[in-house]
Amino acid sequence: MQADIATQLITASATLGGVVMTLLANAFLERRRARDGQRLETHRVSSEHAKWLREERHRAYGGMAIAAEEVQQWMRSDLLEVAATGDETTREQAAARWKLLRTELRKAYDQVAIFGADEARAEALTLWRTARNTGNDYLFPSTDHPAPEEPVRAIREGVARLGVAGEAFLDACRKDLQGDAVR
């Protein structure tokens, strides 16, 4: 009878030990699955964020490039014509158009400043300042920045600087979007 009890105790202990080991193994596997799931979710969120940021950068860079090109074309044709004629009415119309173009360029720059990589932001700032200074120096002279003595030459030089700044900006954008820029 004592042998039966001992056998039952051994069987019960072995069963209980097996159950405990199974519970421990399941708990370990559940923690591991949870950790793996969390890592996978973190990776998915990071991947979605990177995709979103890349799309936003693409939009911001494209907007800045288009706005800068529009400003450059306007300065190259209309503003040079206004400077050559010297007509005050035409100059006032050009000033009104310049305010709109400058505002659009600033909005585009702000988007690059928010979403762009460091190098692209720096080049966009140079581009924006070059355009702003070229237009403002002629259309809105002040005591700090009087109107240029030779406006046509000053505008041509500004447009040339704007072209160089635009190329530098596009190069920085290309590097960033192709993955060569440090983010």
pLDDT at 1: 64
Rounded (to 5) percent helix, strand, coil in the chain: 90, 0, 10
Distance CA 130, CA 159 (A): 9
pLDDT of residue 43: 87
For 93-131, give one letter per residue: b (16+ CB within 10 A) or e.
ebeebbeebbebbeebbebbbebbbebbbebbbbbbebb
What are the extents of the domains in the chain?
2-177
The CATH architecture assigned to 2-177 reads Up-down Bundle (1.20)
Closest CA to 61 of 133, 148, 123, 151: 123
Single out the residue of 122, 129, 119 nearest to residue 158, CA to CA: 129
Q: What are the phi and psi torsion angles at 107 (to 5°)?
A: -60, -45
Q: What was the pLDDT predicted at 27?
A: 87
Tokens of 5: 């009890």
Please give the pLDDT value at position 3. 74
The whole model's pTM is what? Answer: 0.76
Who contacts 100 (Cβ-Cβ below 8 Å, separation ≥6)?
none
Q: Across the 183 residues of the chain, what is the mean pLDDT of every consecutive 10-residue run?
A: 78 85 88 89 89 95 98 95 90 96 98 96 98 93 79 94 97 89 46
